[in-house]
Amino acid sequence: MFGDLLRRLTAPSPAPLSDADARLALGALMVRIARADGTYDAGEAARIETLLARRYGLDPAGAAALRTQAEAFESEAPDTVRFTRAIKDAVGYEDRLAVIEALWSVVLADGARDAGEDAILRLAASLLGVSDVDSARARQRAQAGSA
């Protein structure tokens, strides 16, 4: 189902993604981070829907549909390193920075920071080309938004 998008993402020189494909890829990255601790619960899924709705101006049904597609796409996506590098090559820095903030929000959704989630998020930030300083600021914004 997602074969064409995966081929385009993992091409040697990927073209920028369409808005719909970027939404799907970034949503899938949120799902991958949420699943990193081995638990993907309703709270994390709801947080992803809220973030998708806010970021893309979707109604609740549209956000739920995008999250469902993102879950399916994530399960077919290549390893995190290749997947994240492909997103980096196809999505602008400001969008990637906003995604890091969203990813921190997903990690913090269950009220606990997990070492595995922290590690994969640090890896994702690095692979997305987001500096440690920008990632830390994004985490602080996410924490402030959750409070």
Cβ(34)–Cβ(106) below 8 Å: yes
> What's the predicted TM-score (pTM) here?
0.79
For 131-146, write each residue's pLDDT tens digit. Answer: 999 999 999 998 887 6
pLDDT over 60 at 27, yes or no = yes
Looking at domain 18-146, its CATH class is mainly alpha
Share of the chain above pLDDT 70, in %: 92
Domain ranges of the chain: 18-146
Taking CA atoms, 67 is separated from 60, 135, 140, in Å, by 10, 23, 24
Residue 46 has pLDDT above 60, yes or no: yes
74-107 pLDDT per residue, tens = 988 877 777 787 778 777 888 889 889 988 888 8
